Each structure stands twice: as C-alpha cells, then as structure tokens.
Structure 1
Amino acid sequence: MNRIILHEITKHYMDGLKIESKLPNVGTTIFTVMSALAHEYDAINLSQGYPDFEMPEPLVRLTSQAMERGFNQYSPMAGWMPLRESIASKIQDLYGVVVNPDSEITITPGGTYAIYTAFTSVLRAGDEVIVFEPAYDSYIPNIEVNGAVAIRIPLQFPSYQIDWEEVKARITPRTRMIALNSPHNPTGSVLREEDIAQLRHLVQQHNLLIMSDEVYEHLIYDHEPHRSILRYPDLRERAFVCFSFGKVYHCTGWKMGYCVAPPAFTVEFRKVHQFNCFSCYTPAQVALGEYLKDKHAYRSIAQFYQQKRDYFGILMKQTRFKPLPSRGSYFQLYHFDHFSSESDREFSIRLTKEHGVACIPVSAFYQEGIDNGVVRFCFAKKQETLEKAVERLVKI
C-alpha cells in the first residue's frame, strides 16, 4: 500500500515539472528495435554487432583464475597497470610507437564510453565537430549532450570515402574536432594514405583535435594496413584514440575498452572518467593483461574474421543481394534496391518478419535517413548460423 501511495505522490509531483530533454531527437535505437523484432519472430539476428560464438578459451581461463586469486576489488582509476603495459607493448609491436602506459592509456567500460568521455573532456557549448555519415549512432548524441554541434558530412556513395573538398568547405572558426572511424561501422571502409595526408594538412592549418574510433583495429582485410592515428606523431599529439576489447575478443558483454591520448589530454579525460565510472571490472583487466602478452592473440584476428567475411560472401552469391566492398569491421553491406522498391527500413522489417533474418537499414546511420537501398549484415557468426541465414535469404 505504501509503495502505491508513494508512486502516486511521485507521479503527481513529476507531472507538475517541466523537464526539457537534452537529447530531444533521440529515441530507441534501430539496433534495439531490430534485435527485439528478431526475438519476437525467432529470426536469425545478423543485425546487432555481436558474435554468437564463444570468446577465446585461454581468456576465459585467465579470468576465472584472476577471480580465484582474489582480484575482485577496485582496480586503479586509470586501469590495471600490467594491462596498460601490455597495451603499450602491443602498440609498439604493431605501429612502432612508444606510448607511456602510466600517462597515456586509460582503461574504460567499453569503446563507446571512451568516445563519450573523449568528447566530454574537451567540447564546450557552440563547438563544432565534423562527423562523417553514415555514422556510429553514439557520436552525434555525445556531441549534442555537451552543447556542441555536429557538422554532418556524407561519405561518398558507394565507395564511402571522405570528400575532403567538402570538409575544407565546412570548416569554420568554431570547428573544434574531427571524428574518424576506421575500420568503419557500418560500411567496412578504411582510411587510405591520401586520407591521412589530407587530414594532416587540415588539422595543422585549423588547429583541430581528433577523436579516432578504432574499435575494429584488428579486423582489417586483404593485406590492408590499419592506419591508426597512433602511427603519425603530428596526429597523435592532438588525438583521443579509442579501442575495444569486446569487438576483437568476442566478449562484447564485458564492455571493456581503452583510450590512448597525450598526457595533457589524458589528464582531462580522467577528470571526467573518475566521476563517471572510476574503475572497470578487475578480473577481466588482470586476464587481458596476461593474454595480450601473446602476440598471436591479436595478430591472428584479421585472418579469423576475413575467413568469415569471405565465406559469407560466397554463400550470398546464391541470393539476389549485391555486395559493397568490406575491407574491415565485421559488417558487410548489400544492395537490395534492384529487386525491391521498399525503403531500407521497410525492407529490413519485412525481411525479419517474413523471412526470418534480421539486418540493419543503413539509413539509420544518417540523421536525415538517407536511403541508398542498402542494408548491413553482421558476419561475426558461426558457420552454421551464416548458412541458415542464407538458406532463408535465397528465397527472397
């Protein structure tokens, strides 16, 4: 009875308040919508980006051992030092760069958290941030909740490359930062050397900061190098570079990531971090610190996922879908507009309900819903999952 009365009093009190949303244009994400539909219609879920296979067994064992050994309390705010040291060794091994694990690496509860904290550390009301669309859905809300403005620039279709002439035209005295994502979600495109050259010129000319989302760092194919911002000293000195453990070690539910940034940037990053999260799950940090000592743990990932990408591509040749190139991430885009006049959202919903396969309409990655008749499939699935999905897709 008391609970009911309290609820009614609270409701009455809240009814008299006006709460002005800081994110008035944000609703339920398309990922939640499509995953819920997949569950409702018992569809094969190739929409949301997560594997349906187990994480590496040695990493499971190391995590269990960490708990058994008593590593169950708070870790340091910046992260477990042996893990930060392992990350620094990995960066030096891959990119030939020396990073200070004490002053330049912060462990975070996921890559998305790292991105939000990077934005929040430096953006002020009225600042402008260049964002390339289609864009990962957290960028623009992260920018706007800080009172800043997202300057949206579409990637060139169908190559999904950056139009640097348009970037130059959109820079103003208020431009504070450029947000980059390579390998790119949702398109699978990657930065090339010509992109890096253009970027270097612009950030120097206009004194811009960089937020570089590199959560698919190890998922890059066809012998392409990953052009991490960390490779380039002049870019690295003005960048927050964000990574994810969940994406590369098949443990998205862990929500573990990290941010690499220059010492002065890291100081500001940790000011926000310490009052938002403070510390991350200790057993996983202890396990990852040990696991990363084996170079094979990260050097084998690209081959593992390229085999999945290639196998899915072979299977999809049986269907009417037409692929766009995917050079990174664990996503593959496909055209459908040559056999259906539906919007990509209508098509994705019908595909889920009538054919039992869930995907993501790429228009969801544009604020204005630009629809090029393309959908995104996630191929981070077991072989049998991909086979069952294509068995259904061939019937369309």
Structure 2
Amino acid sequence: MARQMVILALAMASFGCSSQQSSAAASGGAATPAPKATSTGMKVETIAKGLDHPWSVALMPDGSFLITERPGRLRHVSADGKVGEPIAGVPGVFAQGQGGLLDVVLAPDFAKSKKIYLSFAEPGENDTAGTAVATATLGDTALTNLRVIYRQQPKLTGGGHFGSRIVFDGHGHVFISQGERQDRPTAQKLDMLQGKLVRLNLDGSVPRDNPFVGRKDARPEIWSYGHRNMQGLALDPRTGTLWESEHGPRGGDEINLPQAGKNYGWPIITYGIDYPGYKISESVGTSAPGMEQPHHYWPKSPALSGMAFYTGRPGSAWNDSLFLGSLVEMNLIRLSLKGNAIVGEERLLADGGDRIRDVRVGNDGNVYVLTDADDGKLLRLTPPGK
C-alpha cells in the first residue's frame, strides 16, 4: 500500500499540497491539488545574455545588476544590459559539480558601506568543500576588504548540495541556507552544519538567543535542521516571516516556514523517493513525532531554486504572490497567497526551455529572472495590465 501511495503521488505531476493537505496525506488521505490560477498579457524582455551559468542577481539602487556566475565570476550588468568584465577580488571557489560562486546580496547599509555578501562553495584540503559566506566592499572593478564570516564545518567530499541563499531579517541578523552535501544523515546531526539553516549576526558572530547556544552537543549557529538542499530563501514583507524552499529527492520538494530549533525531518520523513525509484533507506514515511510537516510540497519535484515575494501592489495582477524558479520543469512558478495559505498556482515561461535559477522583484514592480545555461540570460517580466 505504501508503495502504491508513492507511485500515485509521483503521478500528480503538476500539483502542490498545502500544509493542511500534507497532514491528510501523511495519515493516508487524498492530497487535493491547489487550484490553478491563470493570467495573460505578461511581457518578457531579455536584458542581457551570454552569462556563464548565472546563479544570483542583486538589484542595484541605480537600476543596474550584480550577477554571480557559478564558475567563480562576479559581473556588473548595466541597466541597458551591457555585461561588464569580471570584478576582481572574488574568493576562490570549489567549481566541481554544483559548487561555485552562488548567492550575492547587498548589505542592509549598502548605500553607505558599499558592502555585499557572497555565498560560495569553499575548497578545503583533500578535495573537500563546504558552503561559506564572505563580506566585501564593492568597487567599480574590484572587491576589497574581503572577509569570510561563515564556514560550513566539517568540509566534506563531493560536488553536490551546497545551497545557498542569504537573507537579512531586519533585526541585525543574517540567515544562510545550505545543503547536506548529499550525505543524508548529517542533516540530523546537530554537531555538523550540513543540512542546517544558520542564523548569525551581520558580522558573523553567533546571536545569544539562537536555539542551540549553550548545548555542548550542538553547533550554536543552527537555527533549524533536517533540511536537504535549500536553494530558496525569502522574507515575507507583509509579516517578516522567513520562508524557505528545498529540493526533495525524486519528489517531495518543500516550502517551510522555519522556526527556531525545529526539525524539518530530512531524511527521516519525506514525500520523495530515491532516484532509482526506491524508498529512502533512513525514512520512516511522511511523518514522525517531533518532526515538522512542510508548509507546502510537490509530489513531483520541480527542482526549486530562487524565491521572491511580490506584495504591496494591490493594483497588480500578481499582488500577494510568491515566485520560485524551477530547474527541472524549466519554468517560473507563481503561487497565489492569502495570508500564509497558498491558494493558487501558475506556471510562467513554460515555453522558454530554460532552467530558472533566480528570481527577484524590483522596486519598479517588475520581476527579474536568471536562466541557468552556458548562454544564460537576465530577463525582465512585466505583469499583466501594467
């Protein structure tokens, strides 16, 4: 019966399940798909192309863009799409597999400090690597004052599951998402940083109110654990709530609203199966005592990447939406929100044939998207009716 349920779930190719539906599915009930939304009239423009597997875009105050390329380059792209030469002073990266230069965000005081934050796969000894975050001062052609403020410990071998996104909470803290480096049991080990959402002060020090501070068996940087590969992270402007998305294996991509000290289950509970089609060996099913259900999940994995909220624009057809990139299904997912509830789902850019790696919402009310390819593009999406 359990295997039949998994097969049925995987057949539901384009549907998501809310947290309430997740609980029903965990107890054997049917999972009801979220209603589909529809819209027409979206305008799509290519701002820049020729980017080498771009991973993240930061929207600059002057209308230009700062873009990371996974092989280890940081570029400035002008508002009219001119791609600049690589900016010097970027940290060396582990560029094997999924590793490389990852997220880039502007510091909260960027207008004054010109400081940026970068996440990257940092090489270690004996072909090991781990997720790291550095700060630096952005100049016209080079970074200066580079300082690594976070290192995932211990470093492990392999080229998969580095995460990673960076988000500020507006209260002097920075959240850093990571992966479990395809070493599943590490996500449950509190003395290791793999598979953990980390919360730090802006200078990299550990906040005194982090949930595991003072425990000898746990890393004090940890905010939440039991995560697989978190490539989406965003703060809801309406409430200040942190939202996180992560890759499942074959099925079971999730959205979580991670809370302090909570265990989100991987690999003990999951709505996915292993890539050859087998049950995850550590898994006991889709629920277990002391482990959180996802807020939303997909039985068939879209391979979620960047995430951004579109709010505060009541006249827009996209107001109160959450956008997520999809790598495998090669589209942009738009989830309609009512409070925290996901009430609709729409797929955009489905005819483009591009892996969507990052998505950001501009102050101009447009949505900016990066495609992940040898010839990657920066796109601008204007919502219907604008």
What's the TM-score once normalised by structure 2's chain length? 0.27
Length-normalised TM-score, structure 1: 0.27
Structure 1 or 2, whichever has the larger Rg, is 1
Instruction: Give the number of the structure whose residues are more often helix, by fraction.
Output: 1
Bigger strand fraction: 2
